[in-house]
Chains A and B, each alone.
Chain A
Amino acid sequence: MDWKPVALSASPLAQSWYEASARARLAGLLDTDTFEEFIGPEQRMMSPHLPLFALPRAFDDGMIVGRGRLDGRDVLAAAQEGRFMGGAFGEIHGAKLVGLLRAALAVKPAAVLILFDTGGVRLQEANAGETAIAEIMRAITQVRAAGIPVIGLIGGRAGCYGGGGLIAGTCVRLVISEGGRLSVSGPEVIETNKGAEEFDSRDRALVWRTMGGKHRRLLGAADAFADDTIGAFRAAASAAIPAAPAFDLETLEAEQARLAARIARFGDARDATEIWSRLGVNDPDAVPGLTTEGFDALLDSLPEGSHDAR
Chain B
Amino acid sequence: MPDKMPLDTLLASLFPAGHAVTVADGLITGEGPLNDGRLAVIGIDGDTALGIEGACLLAGRVLDVVRAGGSTPILVLVDSDSQRMSRRDELLGLNEYLAHLAKALLLADAQGHPTIGLLYGHSAAGAFIATALATRVLAALPGAHPSVMDLPSVARVTKLPLEILQDMARTTSVFAPGLDNMVQTGAVQATLDPDRPLGPQIAALIADSPAADTRDALGRERGGRPLAHAIAARVVREAQGA
Contact = CB atoms under 8 A, between A and B. Distances in A.
Given A141-B107, A170-B102, A252-B104, A267 B59 contact: no
B227 A92 contact: yes
A162 interface: yes
A135 interface: yes
A100 B175 CA distance: 24
B20 interface: no
B231 A170 contact: no
A266 interface: yes
Interface in B210-232: 213, 215-216, 219, 224-229, 231-232
Interface residues of A, number: 85
A153 B176 CA distance: 32
Of the four ranges (under 10, 10 to 19, 20 to 34, 35 or more), the interface on chain B belongs to 35 or more
Nearest to A170: B99
Contacts of A185: 83, 85, 89-90, 94, 126
Contacts of B233: 99
A58 interface: no
B145 to A, nearest CB: 13
A166 B216 contact: no
A107 interface: yes
B207 interface: no
Given A184-B83, A248-B107, A272-B91, A128 B60 contact: no
Given A92-B228, A95-B216, A126 B149 contact: yes
Contacts of B95: 165-166, 168-169, 182-184, 221
B129 to A, nearest CB: 5
A180 B232 CA distance: 28
Interface in A54-73: 65, 67
Contact of A145 (B110, B128, B130): B110
Contacts, number: 265
Given A103-B240, A124-B158, A221 B96 contact: yes
Interface string B49-87: 000110010011001001100000000000000010111
A49 B87 contact: no
Contact of A252 (B86, B90, B107): B107
Interface stretch (B36-44, B181-189, B190-198): B181-189
B236 interface: yes
A183 B89 CA distance: 9
Given A128-B219, A131-B186, A210-B91, A162 B86 contact: no
Interface stretch (B8-16, B21-29, B166-174): B166-174
Interface string B92-110: 1111111110111011001
A79 interface: no
A255 B215 CA distance: 28
A130 B236 CA distance: 21
Contacts of B99: 137, 165-170
B228 A94 contact: yes
Contacts of A124: 158, 174-175
What secondary structure prevails in chain A residues at the interface with B? helix
B154 interface: yes
A213 interface: no
A125 interface: yes
B172 to A, nearest CB: 6
A285 interface: no
A83 to B, nearest CB: 17
A249 B232 contact: no
Interface of B: 52-53, 56, 59-60, 63, 66-67, 83, 85-100, 102-104, 106-107, 110-111, 125-126, 128-130, 133-134, 148-149, 154, 157-158, 160, 168, 172-176, 181-182, 184-187, 213, 215-216, 219, 224-229, 231-236, 238-240
6 contacts: A95-B229, A100-B239, A131-B187, A137-B129, A166-B95, A221-B93
Interface of A: 38-39, 45, 48-49, 52-53, 65, 67, 76, 91-92, 94-96, 98-100, 102-103, 106-107, 121, 123-135, 137-139, 141-142, 145, 162-163, 165-170, 182-185, 189-190, 193-194, 198-199, 210-211, 215-216, 219, 221, 247-249, 252-253, 255-256, 259-260, 262-263, 266-267, 269-272, 275, 310
Nearest 6 A-B pairs (CB), nearest first?
A: A169-B99, A99-B235, A165-B95, A103-B239, A99-B232, A134-B133
